[in-house]
Amino acid sequence: IDELIAEGVTGKRVFVRADLNVPLSGTTITDDGRIRAVQPTVEKLVAAGARVVVASHLGRPKGAPDPAFSLAPAAARLGELIGADVAFATDTVGESARATVAALGDGEVAVLENLRFNPGETSKDDAERGEFADRLAELADLYVGDGFGAVHRKHASVFDLPARLPHAAGDLIATEVGVLKKLTENVERPYAVVLGGSKVSDKLGVIDHLLERADRILIGGGMAYTFLKAQGHEVGSSLLQEDQIPAVLEYLKRAENRGVEFVLPVDVVVSAQFPDLKAKAPTEHRTVPADAMPAGFMGLDNGPETNALYASKLADAATVFWNGPMGVFEHPDYAEGTRAVAQALVDSSGFSVVGGGDSAAAVRTLGFDENAFGHISTGGGASLEYLEGKTLPGLAALED
Ligand code: 3PG
């Protein structure tokens, strides 16, 4: 972006593809990390006198306007953060977008409505995506890619639009890629990886790749129960992906052959019911050994012995990558496992990267200082796919 600015952006319309896909409760933003993450790029362009057009997706609307997925709250928050009025276009490439962009003065900022309100944004059809990208290109002179969280998506604003405009990477993308390189090139060892979240199937690619690279892989969250089941333990009514058991068994075997330590929970917190995440009222729960889960109970968090075990496995790690919560951290009864991993990273002197919207939000909502970690990535799927060694469309589009 600095080169682009040096060439002169004053009076130019600069399209900034951000990832403002923030968690919302109604119209209240519950974690504004992704908006703060793009702030430096927006402020740099404002200071250079550009006319800044910020665009993003939010959630997964079905290719048509849906008020529940409006970016209006994110636009308002961006305005508060940069301390300036931010105009808001109520469509993506229609009358409102054209008028809002045309009304921008030098150093002013506008946000377009959710790009996924247009079916062209996510279309698998190159022509349909290209058509939408053509219309977006009419709104700008230059393109800055800074939505790291979406670079793994081959979407019109991420992949097709940069091909139509002079383009550069923003500061957020540059930082994120710089950090992830430290996890893929000349990694300092021991290298520990903590994977959580609900589905094993989301993590297959990254486990496959990391088995060749990591020294320790610690598993938690809903996905742990498929591993425990694969080891022959009963998991009650816990989340389970039976169809993934063969893959899991193969991973466990490969890990053993390669000398990669696979660490699974030794005790878990169980309850007969999934907690109400809104009311957050105290629930009935108890801790049981991971190999003696009672029928009819579901595992919702790592237990205290597991927390101590995981902390010991992270204490001397020189590099740690963590993606996915260890339990239902949104409820106080099941937040301890996630808190314990976060605390272990804070206490360790190694370089720690927290990847993923959920884990990053967990760390912040549990009250940790984000500066206590090596890096908190704004990308979940994006950072996982980067670690898998995949070509990310949004990065490839900026590289040429
Ligand atoms: C994310 O939250 O990981 C990014 O914003 C991408 O969102 P998506 O998975 O809906 O494409």
What are 338-368's pLDDT values in tens digits? 999 999 999 999 999 998 777 888 898 899 9
pLDDT of amino acid 278: 87
- Is 116 known to sit in a ligand binding site? yes
Cβ of 324 below 6 Å from ligand 1: no
Check if 393 has its Cβ closer than 6 Å to any atom of ligand 1.
Answer: no
Q: Which pTM value belongs to this model?
A: 0.90
- Residue 150 CB–ligand 1 contact under 6 Å: yes
Among 21, 29, 148, the mutation site with the greatest number of ligand 1 atoms within 8 A of its Cβ is: 21
Our answer on whether the CB atom of 116 is closer than 6 Å to any ligand 1 atom is: no
Q: Is residue 344 within 8 Å of residue 316, measured between CB atoms?
A: no
Any known ligand binding at 153? yes
Q: Is 59 annotated as belonging to a binding site?
A: yes
Say if residue 359 carries a ligand binding annotation.
yes
**93, burial (CB in 10 Å: exposed 0-12, middle 13-18, buried 19+):** buried
* Residue at 362: amino acid letter: A
- pLDDT given for residue 79 in this prediction: 98
Check pocket membership of 61 for ligand 1, CB cut-off 6 A: no
Q: Which atom of ligand 1 is nearest to the CA of 357?
A: 2
**In DSSP terms, which residues pair with 268 in a beta bridge?**
288, 302
Residues involved in catalysis: 34, 199, 357, 381
How many Cα atoms sit within 13 Å of 235 on the Cβ side? 22
Residue 204 pLDDT: 87
Residue ranges for the chain with pLDDT beneath 50: none
Integer Cα distance of 130 and 187 in angstroms: 39
Cis peptide before 190 (omega within 30 of 0): yes
> What pLDDT, on the 0 to 100 scale, is given for residue 195?
96
Strands 267-271 and 286-289, sheet pairing: antiparallel
Q: Which two tokens stand for residue 173?
A: 């993308």
Is residue 157 in contact with ligand 1, taking CB distance under 6 Å?
no
DSSP 239-276: ---GGGHHHHHHHHHHHHHHTPEEE--SEEEEESS---
Would the annotation count 17 as a binding residue?
A: no
Most ligand 1 atoms within 8 A of CB, residue of 57, 122, 176 to mutate? 57
Measured from the CA of 34, which atom of ligand 1 is nearest?
A: 5
Contact yes or no for 233/293 (Cβ under 8 A): yes
Phi and psi angles of residue 190, each rounded to the nearest 5 degrees, phi first: -65, 145
Instruction: Check if the interface score ipTM surpasses 0.85.
Output: yes
pLDDT 10s digits, 251-261? 999 999 999 99
Q: What is the DSSP letter of 151?
A: T
Q: E strand or H helix at 320, and its extent?
A: strand 319-323
The candidate with the shortest Cα–Cα distance to 88, out of 168, 9, 20, 173, is 20
Would you say the CB of residue 222 lies under 6 angstroms from ligand 1? no
Q: Which atom of ligand 1 is nearest to the CA of 379?
A: 3
> Is ligand 1 within 6 A of the CB of residue 380?
yes
Cα 380 to ligand 1 centre (Å): 7
| Ligand 1 midpoint to CA 382 (Å) | 8
For residue 351, the model assigns a pLDDT of 96
State how far the Cα of 191 lies from the Cα of 319, in Å rounded to an integer.
5
Distance 220 CA to ligand 1 centre (A): 22
Q: How far away, in angstroms, is 87 Cα from ligand 1 center?
A: 24
* Confidence (pLDDT) at 250: 96
56 lines ligand 1 (CB under 6 A): no
Residue keyed to tokens 């992704």: 34
Mutate to test the pocket of ligand 1, among 22, 153, 159, 392 (most ligand atoms within 8 A of CB): 153
Q: Determine whether the annotation assigns residue 261 to a binding site.
A: no
